[in-house]
Structure 1
């Protein structure tokens, strides 16, 4: 399986870190889009979020331009557990209907379906809820095309597009690896080797000052919010009553 590593040209330290983490596993580096070179954005995504999204879109397009059926995409602030090479050397364990498989965890509560064996001690389960972070995942050709389409007209933060609220409602078939095999640096304590890197998302966002909304715009947004909440309630009820999902926190190890 091809592995794409998203890394800024000026971030040699992170590149060295990821070479150590991947421990001999071959990868293709993707030159990340640099958000600091973007002009201030209007209200919405920050320039760093836009740059992150475009970096992932480059990776999705590169998968579609090549012969592979799937690819593993990783960001450069990961800590990776043993077993990554075995997990990515073959795609035979990937469900035929999958758009993507999340390999890391944000240590938050998520909704999972029934588990099935993936590789070794690890299992995969359908992911039916939001799960933050776009730092490590496998995407299939069908998934790459779908994500490019979803993010073309209405840009979203990369992880919101990849692992959104109620993916089933969007027609996305997403799986979660459990236990996860990777986690972002800022989620690990210093005693565990974490907290080594600053994150661009924590920096000043570089957004332009927000324009004051009119009363009509506020009413429109409130109507959309209420409609979305109603749809979320219907979906949540279906998931609990019909699908019998498990609410859990995905560990790493």
Structure 2
């Protein structure tokens, strides 16, 4: 992670993660409120949420209008520096920006995705992951006051269908960051405060946390029969045209990102 940020001109501070093994039962029950089905977040999920909240508080108490949060296993495109050298590319009404691609097909660093303009879109799908995002100081203050959680932190931030969600999110497309595990699979968080012009670097030793419990293995998918395949092939060109038209309409509301041309010096 440090090698990626070397030369970016950003003030980086490594924030120790909350260790799930050190959370008392009373503390877990205080933060992990039961969902409608009666289930609660696991200790690892609560610790992850509290680790992000620790970063939100740093941004809320800082001097800069925006801050960026990165989990330690994030990979970035080679041309990532302008995203941290200035916040001028973020529109005033934008409070949170997802920088992360959910899979390689939507990652700028994947071969074949290097052309075209980067754009800032309103979030339209509820992708998993909160490994790289930018947060406004104003929204950070609101989120940092959160005490009770019913869903993991990535769903809390970026699930547009979450009940009670009272803020809008945006995302950079194609994504300019991706978790290493999505390309091929520590447990601490790296936060950077975006200043007006440039930033310096501070690093704190990481703290390990317990990994989340493994999820249940999904049932094998049943392959469609010949009639279903024929219907799918007939529909495909119409769906492609519909997708292209929707994409053209979306681009009118998501102008290209105007990044600063000059990189800040350390």
**Cα offsets for 1:34-90 (capped at 9, x unmatched):** 123334656411111111111111111111111110001000011111122111110
Gaps of 5+ in 1: 1-17, 111-119, 190-194, 206-240, 247-253
1:157 and 1:82 mapped to 2: Cα distance? 30
Structure 1 residue aligned with 2:20: 35
CA gap of 1:162–1:124, structure 2 versus 1, over 3 A, is: same
Gaps of 5+ in 2: 30-38, 107-115, 188-208, 216-245, 252-266
Q: What is the TM-score of this pair, normalised by structure 1?
A: 0.60
CA gap of 1:106–1:201, structure 2 versus 1, over 3 A, is: farther
Structure 2 residue aligned with 1:234: none
Query: What count of residue pairs does the alignment treat as equivalent?
Result: 177
1:245 and 1:51 mapped to 2: Cα distance? 37
Kept after mapping to 1: 8 A contact 2:118/2:173? yes
Higher strand fraction: Structure 1 or Structure 2?
1
Higher relative contact order (CA 8 A, sep 6+): 2
Structure-to-structure mapping, 1:176-195, within 5 angstroms: 176-189=171-184, 195=185
CA gap of 1:98–1:161, structure 2 versus 1, over 3 A, is: same
Q: Which has the larger radius of gyration?
A: 2
* 1:86 to 2:82 alignment: yes
Structure-to-structure mapping, 1:199-218, within 5 angstroms: 201-203=211-213
Q: Which residue of 42, 45, 48 corresponds with 1:49? A: 45
Higher helix fraction: Structure 1 or Structure 2?
1
Structure 2 SS opposite 1:73: strand
